[in-house]
Amino acid sequence: MPAFRLAPLRSATHSWFVEKSRHDMIQFSNVLDLLRILRGTAQSLGLAPISQGLLDLQGQLLHLQVQVLEQQMETRLMQDEAARLRGCLTTARRLQRVHEAYFVVNSDTDVRGPYCVTCWDRREVLQALVEAEEGAGYCPNCKATVETSRKAEKPKSGYSLRAEEQSAA
């Protein structure tokens, strides 16, 4: 039987799925145990064809169990990917680009950043920039140095680069 490394639980759906998977595997074990007992009985009664039939059935059931495990694994991976994409979408909706950095604007008073544009755009990684000098940030991940602000300001909710450009003009 293949070894499975279970990812940490992330939601009620996950825990429901894990519980159902466990239940399915218990059902398989119960039926396999029953087949083993029946086969022992058939053997002790000298019923060779029935014993062979039960052995074949055990083999088919084991094959089916492996298929179910593989499907469960695939479902888990798809659930994880869906959760990751949902998270990315939530973050992407709150991102505002200012100069060469992203900021996550949760509210007027909750603005986080600056984050690396390259790391987010290419790999959806929200990498905080380290302040390199006044108005510049350094990404420890992709090693880029970028302009984060001209006036060391952070964006407010509703902030737009266009508005800033207009006021600067």
Report the residue number, 141 or 157, with the smaller CB distance to Zn ion. Answer: 141
CB of 123 to Zn ion, least distance (A): 9
Percent of the chain as helix, strand, coil, to the nearest 5:
55, 15, 30
CB of 98 to Zn ion, least distance (A): 16
Could you give the count of Cα atoms lying within 13 Å of 86 in the half-sphere of its Cβ? 8
| H helix or E strand, kind and range, residue 47 | none
Contact 131, 150 (CB under 8 A): no
Report the residue number, 98 or 139, with the smaller CB distance to Zn ion. Answer: 139
Candidates 54, 119, 136, 146: give the one binding Zn ion (CB under 5 A).
Answer: 119
Stretch in the footprint of Zn ion (CB under 5 A) among 37-45, 57-65, 96-104, 141-149:
141-149
CB of 131 to Zn ion, least distance (A): 14
* Helix pair 12-44, 48-94: axis angle to 10 deg: 170
Q: Does 118 bind Zn ion (CB under 5 A)?
A: yes
Candidates 54, 98, 139, 146: give the one binding Zn ion (CB under 5 A).
Answer: 139
Candidates 15, 141, 157, 160: give the one binding Zn ion (CB under 5 A).
Answer: 141
Q: Does 142 bind Zn ion (CB under 5 A)?
A: yes
CB of 119 to Zn ion, least distance (A): 3
Using CA atoms, how far residue 158 sits from 21, 84, 161, 166, in Å, is: 46, 26, 10, 15
Contact 160, 99 (CB under 8 A): no
Locate 164 and state its tokens: 């800033």
Q: Does 117 bind Zn ion (CB under 5 A)?
A: no
- Can you give the binding site for Zn ion, defined by CB under 5 A? 116, 118-119, 127, 139, 141-142
